[in-house]
Structure 1
Amino acid sequence: MLLRFRTANVRSLRDEQELSFVVAPGEKSDAARTTPLSDGKHLEIYPVIGVFGANASGKSNVITALKKMRSAVLDSYGLWTSYTGVPEREPFALDAESAGKSTFYEADFVLDDGVRWTYGFELGDRRVESEWLHAYPKGRRQVWLDRDATRDNVFDFPGDRVQDRARLARSTRPNALLLSRAASDNHPQLSRVFGWFRSNLWDITPETELKDRERYTAEQLLDDRNSERVRELLRVADLGIQGAEVERQPGGRTPAVRLLHGSDRDTAVALDWAKESFGTRSWFALLGPLLLALDSGAVLLIDELDASLHPKFAAEVIRLFQAPWSNDKNAQLLFTSHDASLLKSPRGGRLLEPGQIWLTEKDKRGATELYPLSDFDPKPEEDLEDSYLAGAYGAVPNVDQGQIGRKVLTALAGEAERS
């Protein structure tokens, strides 16, 4: 499970920002999962975090930073060739100082055996400036790797815990992560840490890669293990869908799908796929990857959850991860959204607890600040949606009612005078 993520100097995230799935000390949570650690202690971990904020406040950059960290771990040794330096680095662009500083990433996570790990690195334009790996098998920190490009002896392995240390240090390029290099040879110790990144931080953006995800969900309809679950999720979404017909296609093409629409199953009519609404297709395309994440216990990233989904569908996605009966593998969801209605359930109460709601707001320099709503200590009876829209927690556009219209009229009047 992902515990915490820290990053700095990535797009609008100028200063170090932290996102935490761990329930803060002193807070009580009905949504959290109890995660046992190898030292006999336990952590309370949220299965869902939602990041809310105004347009261009930087909430999508939180997910982008996680994606960039995963990409570096998976690709730095195989794809970042010796003559390319560090590709796709995007430091904060609104001051000259940040361009010369390194980009920072660090993640805390727990593997299946209950051991907590911290892995991080800093990237410059041409090389990996630093890299570190710490384990906590008995609650105390063990330093497995300490890399510093400014030292004569760049790689240090305190405690001699890592096998093949000399060979790894000798064969790791300056612009590649040692963790990536180790995984290329199926290193017996480090490949487990690499495997966590490979099996987690899956990215879904509802408006992109739609056809690929439609194909994947269609293939699940042909799988006896998942077919009925996909059909059930289509029915309960209140789209007027009673079921689905699916047919294999020659040459490995995408299976042909027709959804059955009607008030009951006996009179339902099969509708051609091209005639389905964008909202229905978006929901269908999300189901396959969503079920895969739930089945494998993965961390799923969804940017703009509400972009192409009705708020009811977005709320159902959250509930699937929150409910122990549908998420028995402790999968986690991190999403961004503009939709303040997700801060409460239609029947009253809260869909998300204050500690699960994180907000983004830009300062005068254009740098993003990320903080949890729980910092404001809202009362149990407080309507989080109303308070958020009223600006009680920040992270909303600073625009007065009618201000945009008045600006437009003023501009038009000015143009008329000039002409």
Structure 2
Amino acid sequence: MLIQLTIENFMSFRDEVTFSMVGVSSDRQHADRLIEDAAGKGRSVVPIAAIYGANAAGKSNLIEALSFAKELILEGTRSNRSIPVATFKLGDYSKKPSKFEFIFTHQDARYSYGFKLNKEQILEEWLHAIPPGKRKEVMYFERITSLDKKTTVDYGLPLTGRSLKRKQFLEFIAEGTRPNQLFLTEGIDRNVESLFPVANWFREILTIIMADSIFASLESTILSDISFTDFLSKFLKLAGTGIDKVGGGTVELDFDRHLPGMPQVDRDKLLQKFSGAHANSILMIEDNFGKQYLLLKGEDSLIKMIQLVTQHRHENGNLVDFAVNEESEGTQRLINLIPALFVLQEEEKVIFIDELDRRLHPLLSRLFVKTAIDCRGKNNQLIFTTHDTNLLDLDLLRRDEIWFVEKDRQGSSNLYSLTEFKTRPDLKIEKGYLNGRFGAIPFFGNPESLGWHSQNRDTAMETNEH
């Protein structure tokens, strides 16, 4: 579970800001929702958080920061390439370091991992942890790379044990770690097993869903997981989309219509693969955007594409098939979000969604959040950005589950929680927010300053005179 995230000098976040999932123990509203002791020393963690703010306030930049750090950790960098870190642009900050730090729990251990960097190199990097069953935090490693690009790493017993051979191996890895590469990434590549849980948290647990994301393996999951298909069908029906059931259908492959961006050489290779394949053979391919497609060789030797099919009830009672692109944009968006609800039932997931309410009716957004709260597993969390003030309701969310992002006059984003304000239990949070009580809303100038009103009046007068 995510406990805390800290960011500094990245995109619109000029100064250090901290986003925390630690609950306020004194707040007994929805107290049964808290995950006790998850943050250590008797502290609790909340399972959900909503992040509000005006357009361009920095909500999506928080998601971008997560995405940047995750990709840097898991994918690393190339030799002699600059690190694509986007520093704060409204000032002289391009040479100043950016900072990222994650505090999280995984497999009964509590980790604190972070790094400071600029475009040229990793300046600092650290990993500390409280191992399972222990109370004291121990160092795994601390790395410093000097301005002349010499790297030194100090190791703790969790990495070296008491083995001289293991320490020598780690020193070999440190020596081979490029200045623009994270030691964690290099250690994973070199099979340092003690670092695997940390990498696994970023790879498997931390899930980021951008505003325009699609669930790439939708068709394959429907084919392979009956429980997912049932969950998807039931939620779409509950949401009033008019969809009665979902399933998989096939259509003859038309490269120009279905895969227009595929080069001819790749089309030829695909046809060659299927030429010697048995009937009913299935092949999965992926385009440059990560979208997956399932292809099937039929009994008639024709190549067919397996597609998601939605079924609506005809007036005569029969089911009628629809292609997904025949559904509304809101329904398509919902279909790509429902998998997040499904996996929240699993043992451990931390899911970030940017613009949850995009193309969704406010009541549908509320249904989604209520379902996420009700059906989540023990160690799962959902964090989302939104403009939907319908969710600002203390009957739905705790005060420590509501966050705001606001830019100051210098264009720097600040991040703060509703718990920083004194509020009564019966306060209408939505009304207070729209009235500007908590900030993080747009402030408009006077429309008459644009001259449109006077221009329209002058035009009307000229028209009347003629």
Is the shorter-chain TM-score for this pair beyond 0.5, marking a shared fold?
Answer: yes
Shift in Å at residue 303 of structure 1? 0.7
Contact 2:6–2:17 (CA under 8 A) maintained in structure 1: yes
Partner of 1:317: 368
Question: Which consecutive residues of structure 2, in runs of 5 or more, have no partner in the other structure?
Answer: 161-165, 252-281, 284-293, 296-304, 460-466
Match of 1:334 among 383, 393, 396: 383
1:111 aligns with 2:106: yes
SS at structure 1 position matched to 2:346? helix
Shift in Å at residue 131 of structure 1? 0.1
Shift in Å at residue 47 of structure 1? 1.1
Moved more, 355-364 or 18-27: 18-27
Match of 2:397 among 335, 348, 352: 352
411 and 34 in structure 1: CA distance in 2 versus 1, 3 angstrom threshold: same
Contact 2:366–2:390 (CA under 8 A) maintained in structure 1: no
Shift in Å at residue 129 of structure 1? 0.3
Contact 1:121–1:131 (CA under 8 A) maintained in structure 2: yes
Distance 2:155 2:451 in 1: 62
Contact 1:216–1:288 (CA under 8 A) maintained in structure 2: no
Deviation sequence 1:297-333 (CA, Å, 0-9, x none): 211111111112222222222223312xx11242211
SS at structure 1 position matched to 2:376? coil
Q: TM-score under structure 1 normalisation?
A: 0.87
Code of the residue aligned with 1:116 in structure 2: it is R
1:131 aligns with 2:125: yes
Match of 2:153 among 146, 152, 155: 155
Contact 1:242–1:264 (CA under 8 A) maintained in structure 2: no
The equivalences for 1:230-249 within 5 A come to 230-248=232-250
Contact 2:314–2:320 (CA under 8 A) maintained in structure 1: no
Distance 2:78 2:416 in 1: 37
72 and 412 in structure 1: CA distance in 2 versus 1, 3 angstrom threshold: farther
Code of the residue aligned with 1:191 in structure 2: it is F
Contact 1:32–1:44 (CA under 8 A) maintained in structure 2: no
Question: Which consecutive residues of structure 1, in runs of 5 or more, have no partner in the other structure?
Answer: none
Distance 2:97 2:363 in 1: 42
Shift in Å at residue 218 of structure 1? 3.2
Shift in Å at residue 73 of structure 1? 0.8
Partner of 1:55: 55
Partner of 1:173: 178
Shift in Å at residue 186 of structure 1? 2.5
Moved more, 260-269 or 60-69: 260-269
SS at structure 1 position matched to 2:78? coil
Aligned length: 397
Contact 2:159–2:194 (CA under 8 A) maintained in structure 1: no
Distance 2:319 2:308 in 1: 15
408 and 4 in structure 1: CA distance in 2 versus 1, 3 angstrom threshold: farther
Distance 1:303 1:209 in 2: 9
Partner of 1:302: 353
231 and 264 in structure 1: CA distance in 2 versus 1, 3 angstrom threshold: farther
Contact 2:10–2:86 (CA under 8 A) maintained in structure 1: yes
191 and 329 in structure 1: CA distance in 2 versus 1, 3 angstrom threshold: same
The equivalences for 1:214-229 within 5 A come to 216-222=217-223, 223-229=225-231
1:85 aligns with 2:82: yes
Contact 1:373–1:393 (CA under 8 A) maintained in structure 2: yes
1:378 aligns with 2:423: yes
Shift in Å at residue 37 of structure 1? 5.6
Contact 2:25–2:43 (CA under 8 A) maintained in structure 1: no
Shift in Å at residue 153 of structure 1? 6.2
Contact 2:129–2:137 (CA under 8 A) maintained in structure 1: yes
Q: TM-score under structure 2 normalisation?
A: 0.78
Runs of 4+ in 1 over 6 A off after TM superposition: 413-416
Distance 2:458 2:171 in 1: 71
